[in-house]
Amino acid sequence: MRFVSTLQLLLAATAFAAPRNDNTPSISRNKAISPKPPFLPLPDTARRNKVCYVDSHGNGADDSKNILGALKRCNNGGRVVFDKHYTIGTALDLQFLKHIDLDITGYIQFTNDTNYWQTHAFKQVYQNATTFFQLGGEDVNVYGGGTIDGNGQVWYDLYAENPLVLRPILVGIIGLRGGAIGPLKLRYSPQWYHFVANSSDVLFDGLDISGYSNSHNTAKNTDGWDTYRSKNIVIQNSVINNGDDCVSFKPNSTNILVQNLHCNGSHGISVGSLGQYEGEVDIVENVLVYNISMFNASDGARIKVWPGVSSELSSDLQGGGGLGSVKNITYDTIQVDNVDWAIELTQCYGQSNQTLCNEYPSNLTISDVWFKNFAGVTSKTREPDVATLICSSPSVCSNIYVSNFNVTSPKGTNEAICKNVDESNLQLNCTSSS
């Protein structure tokens, strides 16, 4: 798998990566890309007036007490400096933080004690998610360019033996109101890299994410970000080398801006999955995804919704029958390179039986969605098709638009699968059906 370097992040600040050859469609090669503002203004940071340094045992012993002590000393107006190598072997509840900076220039690594973490990691309320720590409170910034390491290899191997094992998420942002995360390096998360839940007005800027398995057991479910019950979140100026969604908007994510990312090896930037839990209402509204370069991925732009009945595809992938809506979603200025689907919209997620999905259409509506200014070349996997938009029925999908779509397969084809969507709004070559 090709690795996307931080150099490409710098290139992304002004324009897309150069096309592979003169015949490859591109989007305004010489056009500067200007960032978009957040949906709502982000709050100011209060003045910091004291500094605390975190001591380290330096021998692999648990530094959690030192970390917790420094955070309590410098809470309410201080900066805590992590300038050494630290080991964390205790789950830390950091939801008490207020008006504080965590300046990480050193290296933080979580222990590989899988028995401890399965018992003590913080259990979140969505998809059996657990986190090493939960950082919340008000006006909290984490930066410094240092490294947070999840020691993921032992988890990748354990998950291959037992797909129901609870693997901790590296960074748990739980109940944070105002703050900024980055620049930081995040490495080898056991599962998702970020879970952003019950939070608002948070900026993620300058994250360098990477961590593949060094055994034959793949590092799975390593999403870059998953937002849940959160609003006014900004994710930007980052490089993500992972094995699942680059960014995923889980239920009740609203006013989310994602821009200027280089994603490599991922499953795309995804709305969903939604509708997994019967009787629950999932809403994702007001999302702008802008200026993205997507390499070696299964998808570029993706909307994934479960069918209208609960079903099981595998022991760790089951659900359906939920309610809700997807509304006012825009994917704008997207470059793809070796990506299976430039666009994938499905209401049959988590189920391989299309007949079942047709019999039980999704309960979620999808409306006011724009895919515009796409360019690049897909992989060979789906050719001659480069995009697929399949709704359960015409009654649940409306106002879906595709424009200025300049994506071809390696052979030069540009066909698309379109079903139960108004093709008059799609500037696609809808020659296939499914």
Q: Tens of pLDDT along 53-68?
A: 999 999 999 999 999 9
Q: Give the global pTM.
A: 0.92
Burial of 205 (0-12, 13-18, 19+ CB in 10 A): middle
Let me know if 194 is a catalytic residue. Answer: no
Mean pLDDT in residue range 101-125: 98
Of 296, 316, 267, 276, residue with least CA distance to 160: 316
Token pair in block for residue 420: 């139960």
Q: According to the model, what pLDDT value does residue 315 have?
A: 61
Task: Give CA–CA dist 251/229, Å, rounded.
Answer: 6
pLDDT of 406 above 60: yes
Mean pLDDT in residue range 128-149: 98
Q: According to the model, what pLDDT value does residue 428 have?
A: 97
Q: According to the model, what pLDDT value does residue 433 have?
A: 56
Determine phi and psi for 10, rounding to 5 degrees.
-65, -40
pLDDT of 434 above 80: no
Active-site residue, from 99, 194, 262, 267: 267
Q: According to the model, what pLDDT value does residue 309 have?
A: 86
Q: Tens of pLDDT along 208-242?
A: 999 999 999 999 999 999 999 999 999 999 999 99
pLDDT of 297 above 70: yes
CATH superfamily of 6-432: Single-stranded right-handed beta-helix, Pectin lyase-like (2.160.20.10)
Q: According to the model, what pLDDT value does residue 1 have?
A: 37
**Residue pointed to by tokens 């960074």:** 171
pLDDT of 24 above 60: no
Average pLDDT along the chain = 91
Q: Tens of pLDDT along 170-207?
A: 999 999 999 999 999 999 999 999 999 999 999 999 99
Mean pLDDT in residue range 262-275: 96
Q: What is the band of 314 on the pLDDT scale with cuts at 50, 70, 90?
A: low
Task: Give CA–CA dist 157/214, Å, rounded.
Answer: 10
Burial of 424 (0-12, 13-18, 19+ CB in 10 A): exposed
Domain ranges of the chain: 6-432
Give just the sign of the alpha carbon dihedral 371, 377, 379, 385: positive
Q: According to the model, what pLDDT value does residue 14 have?
A: 35
pLDDT of 304 above 80: yes
Give per-residue burial for 8-20: e unless 16+ CB within 10 Å, then b.
Answer: ebeebeebbbebe
Q: Where does residue 356 fall: left (phi above 0), alpha (psi -120 to 50 degrees), or beta otherwise?
A: alpha
- Per cent of the chain over pLDDT 90 is 82
Q: Tens of pLDDT along 73-105?
A: 999 999 999 999 999 999 999 999 999 999 999
pLDDT of 432 above 90: no
